[in-house]
Structure 1
Amino acid sequence: MDTTQTMNRDETQDMISSEKVDGTAVYGRDGERIGSVHHLMIGKRDGKVRHAIVSYGGFLGLGEDYFPLPWNELTYDEGRGGYVVNRDAEHLRGGPRYQRDQEPTWDRSYDDRITGYYGTR
């Protein structure tokens, strides 16, 4: 299968396969690369992407921190080939985060903590 066919199947103007989002770079408003999308959290019932989990730091997956960002905080920038957040890295580091072996319970209270921090209720 040629690349054009794969592109057409995995990406349109309005949609993109989650496989293509994982690993995409995330930049702060200052242009600094903050990290990359590790995975997405999707609502089971409504099918909407709620959060992008951005990985930051570490080496080969060790010591990485994961920062859940409300999905509507990210804007895709074709020029950079990644997502831009209208925040700086310092603001991100001050927000909710967890390490690989300490994933939070994804309940209403944790969701409120994330959206409250970013002011996106």
Structure 2
Amino acid sequence: MTISQPSGQTARTAAEVGGARIVGSSEAFDRADGPGPYLMLADSLEGNDVVNAAGDDLGEIKGIMLDVQRGRIAYAVLSFGGFLGVGNKLFAIPWQALVLDTDRKRFVLDVSEERLKAAPGFDKDHWPSMADLQWASSVHSYYQADPYWRH
């Protein structure tokens, strides 16, 4: 999928830029009230819902993890399951595996609920490190996303 770009810029695919794809009406791209969706405060994405292509609820974004040395987004933290925040499992979702739907103000992740439940996850007291390239590569492979550090 090709990303819509502001005027004067060449359109590139998400794989070429190593980022999330952006979809939505053109009005969402031509706003006078802010720079979004190309530049956004990371905390403005926290709490956004995540659904799959079938529209099934997969949880919500709990945070955005930055690779400070490379100046890139490493992954989004997805919270799924549990009840009223208790028993939730956290997942590191490669940024490139997400599609930002600006019309519905949510993300789309192309996995079934069953596949997400079987995905490698972690809890709030045991966060993984993308510095562990073996772990990071396995997460990117699971979600069929090109590792961001190769772009």
Range of TM-score over shorter length? 0.7 to 0.9
Partner residue, 1:18: 42
Deviates most, 21-30 or 101-110: 101-110
Cα deviation, 1:43-93, whole Å, max 9, x if unaligned, reads 111211121110012234321100111101111112321001122221112
Q: Distance in 2 between matches of 1:117 and 1:85?
A: 12
Shift of 1:119: 2.3
Structure ranking higher on relative contact order (CA contacts 8 Å, 6+ apart)? 2
User: What SS does the corresponding residue of 2:96 show, helix, strand or coil?
Assistant: helix
What TM-score, normalized to structure 1?
Answer: 0.83
Q: Does 1:66 align with 2:95?
A: no
Give the RMSD, CA atoms, in angstroms: 1.7
Deviates most, 108-117 or 18-27: 108-117
Richer in helix (by share): 1
Q: Which runs of 5+ in 2 are unaligned?
A: 1-32, 147-151
- Letter paired with 1:48: R
Partner residue, 1:3: none
Identical columns (%):
26
Number of residue pairs the alignment of both structures matches: 113
- Letter paired with 1:116: S
Partner residue, 1:38: 62
Shift of 1:102: 2.7
Structure 1 runs (4+) greater than 6 angstroms displaced: none
Richer in strand (by share): 1
Partner residue, 2:74: 50
Q: Which runs of 5+ in 1 are unaligned?
A: 1-6
What TM-score, normalized to structure 2?
Answer: 0.68
Partner residue, 2:9: none
